[in-house]
Amino acid sequence: MHQENDCIRAMVWQDGVLRLLDQRRLPRQEIWLELDDCAAVADAIRDMVVRGAPAIGITAAYAAVLSARRRHADSPHGWRAAFETDLERLAAARPTAVNLRWAVQRMRAVAAGRKGDPVPALLEAAIALHRQDIAANRRMGELGAALIDAGSGVLTHCNTGSLATGGYGTALGVIRSAWAQRRLTAVYADETRPWLQGARLTAWELVRDGIPVDLLVDGAAAHLMKEGRVQWVVVGSDRIAANGDVANKIGTYAAAVAARHHGVKFMVVAPSSTIDMSTPGGDRIPIEQRPADEVLSLAGQPVAAPGAGAWNPAFDITPAELVDAIVTERGVVQAPDAAGMARLMAEAGSG
């Protein structure tokens, strides 16, 4: 369904190497990096070549294949210790996105106790994870679109599309599905400082798909809502706590506060692998602090007065009481709280 809106992939396994579309160069250049080393993939995750929680997890799964191939070739009987070191380096590359550790643990479990060459089983698992993510995104797209009334405008923040996932997208997948169903009259995207994922990536994806999009500076979102231009804010998440608190790109919390004040609905779209039932609330989610230079400069050019410092958290926490719906491939939790999240995950475990 809607295959015409699904032509972008952020990562491709091809001829035994992992190819990553360098998202730091978009939209001006489409450059693919070919990586055959796990450490190089960990660096690429940390350096934002690939970003978005689901995409990071899938990339890490392929990186585990690269690690196993090299470590097993170097020491067919003693590869496990070096493989485990590689996995830990991968897991530490971005601390907030729970999908990263989830994928690393999944690949660790596949390798555990395996005799002989672990690479075929690990590659099969990585490819399956990639395919499952795309299928989950299409399911979330349909579930989320069903919540949006015809004639609505939507605002999204950061990038949650094919570039941030295995394909199709989470929040942007909902927007793709809603657009295909003729439910939307307008799509707005925050620029998303300091990396401008909205301007560089979300707008690029939507333009490529033929979906009209208007950009706005992050600080204009509240005024957009006041003017009645949007009925939903639709965002993704890098980690959702057991009580429904949501960690997402910095600026999401401000959008949620403004949405509640103006009577605009707020939807979070994320796969169930993003839900961390071992973290009771958002106050326990680690927030990645990134270098000051990201705020003090833009595309390598200084934009701030020399000598100024910067505070640069990559994420913020939106409390569950500001969220109207959490959409996963397993179902929708309306007005999320601890009980609702527990029911969803219990059903997921029995499904």
What residues are annotated to the active site?
Answer: 238
Lay out the sheet containing 232-235: strands in order across: 214-216, 184-190, 152-156, 232-235, 265-269, 325-328, 331-334
- The number of beta carbons lying within 10 Å of the beta carbon of residue 302 is 11
Side chain identity at residue 317, one-letter code: I
Side chain identity at residue 92, one-letter code: A
Are 273 and 57 contacting, i.e. CB atoms less than 8 angstroms apart?
yes
Is the sign of the CA dihedral 285, 230, 167, 35 positive or negative?
negative
What distance, in Å, lies between the first and last C-alpha atoms of the chain? 24
Strands 315-318 and 246-249: antiparallel
Buried b (16+ CB within 10 A) or exposed e, 236-274: bbbbbbbbbbbbbbbbbbbbbebbbebebbbbbbbbbbb
Are 235 and 268 contacting, i.e. CB atoms less than 8 angstroms apart?
yes
Are 173 and 269 contacting, i.e. CB atoms less than 8 angstroms apart?
yes
Residue 179 backbone zone (phi > 0: left; psi -120 to 50: alpha; other: beta): alpha
Are 169 and 161 contacting, i.e. CB atoms less than 8 angstroms apart?
yes
DSSP bridge partners of 13: 18
State the DSSP H helix or E strand holding residue 233, giving kind and residue range, or none if neither.
strand 232-235
Helices 119-145/98-111 angle, 10° precision: 140
Which of 31, 35, 33, 30 lies closest to 16 in space, CA to CA? 35
Strands 239-241 and 246-249: antiparallel
